Homo-oligomer: A and B are copies of this chain.
Amino acid sequence: MAPTTRQPAAPAVPPRGKGRPRSATADRAILDATRDALAELGWGGLTMGHVATRAGVAKTTLYRRWPSKNDLVIEAVASLFDALEMTDRGSLQADIEAVVAQFAALLARPETQAALLALFAEGTRDPELRRRIRERIVEPQKHLVRQGRALAQQRGELGPDLDDDSACEEVDIIFDTIAGTVEHRMLVSGEPVTTDWIHRFTTLLLSPLAG
């Protein structure tokens, strides 16, 4: 596998150029085929040729849009995470539990499991890929933590930020704890994340406030 990952991947809005525009249908077919193939074959079994055939598209067309498997998969997976959202449910604990439940449901999907960890694995060796993962997948999740924090501050459950730096670090530690723990339980330990487990975990997480 080459260093890879240089291009900014397929642009969301193709620049209205001169010649024949790229087929949006093909884009969707390719990403759908990628997710299907991931669920069925896993990361190691996913081949560009296979995706192309399944999408009813020439292999060349894949490479015109995404220069490597990483770039293709990151786009196919990232869109799944767009569904995550933070809704005001009246208390910090309830808000967290709802988001964790959404996150767990996402990680239960077969196409998410192998893909996410394999992307993380490649990311440890490719700083550019890691940057894209953080930008496209991790940051949107971290945003949920900030939202929940702001809501809790409005309710008076949390005090206001002391300074920006420590607030930022606190968001980081909370985020790594929630995401890391849920991922580890589901993907490594391979045990289910039930509502009961979520409740106990969230209680543990919030106990500094209770005391």
Contacts and interface: CB of A to CB of B under 8 A. Distances in A.
Given A120-B187, A123-B188, A173 B204 contact: yes
Nearest to A200: B173
5 contacts: A117-B121, A117-B124, A138-B188, A173-B200, A176-B184
B183 A184 contact: yes
A181 B204 CA distance: 14
A29 to B, nearest CB: 24
Interface in A177-200: 177, 179-185, 187-191, 197, 200
Interface stretch (A13-21, A42-50, A56-64, A95-103): A42-50
A176 B172 contact: no
A201 interface: yes
Contacts of A121: 42-43, 114, 117-118, 120-121
A177 B189 contact: no
Contact of A1 (B44, B133, B197): B44
Contact of A176 (B45, B176, B181): B181
A162 interface: no
Nearest to A207: B208
A129 B181 CA distance: 21
Contact of A114 (B124, B176, B177, B189): B124
Contacts of A175: 189
